[in-house]
Structure 1
Amino acid sequence: MDDDGSSSTPASYIRLVQHLIEKCICYSMNKEECMETLEKHANIMPVITSTVWKELEKENREFFEMYKKDRGEESSQKSPSEQAAPSKSSDDGDD
């Protein structure tokens, strides 16, 4: 009972999602764009793509830091308050 790549196992599904994420990265997509693309074209739930992406980021921290820097996204790692503040203000309407 070894996992020789049969497509019915959870591990092979995760490998498929990882492979598709790698293809999205080849097209310089960010996580959100990748989630949308895989949902639309491969019927993969965004939560699955997001989870696999996060694990890839953990395992390949240096690569993703450079990838985000090259895409101009390095500020997303700065601070959670900087990230949350702009999206919250549009909801408020207090200007």
Structure 2
Amino acid sequence: MAEIKRHLRAFHSVETRSESADKVVKCLWTGCTTDIRTDGLAKHLRDVHLRVGARRCSHCGKRVSRKDAMKRYEKRCKALQSALASEGTRNWGYGTPSGH
């Protein structure tokens, strides 16, 4: 993320340090209308536009920005929930030791 911050300072005259953290700017990405504090701009660019660290759900194909976002998304992914439900139904009571 340091590279993004250096780029913002060098080419766009945007200061991302804590002294200017409360300043709100428009995202510099063409077509993006997000208003964001300068201290969050580099993270926004990395996660939303550059998709560094992006993950794709193996069950439905949806892309999310980061590993932690994927963990949250998996809790509500209908395709994953459906797969888990059918897996549980198939295995319910089968292949378990009888105790004899």
Superposition TM-score tier, normalisation by shorter sequence: under 0.3
- Which one has a larger percent strand, Structure 1 or Structure 2? 2
TM-score w.r.t. the length of structure 1 is: 0.26
- Which one has a larger percent helix, Structure 1 or Structure 2? 1
TM-score w.r.t. the length of structure 2 is: 0.26
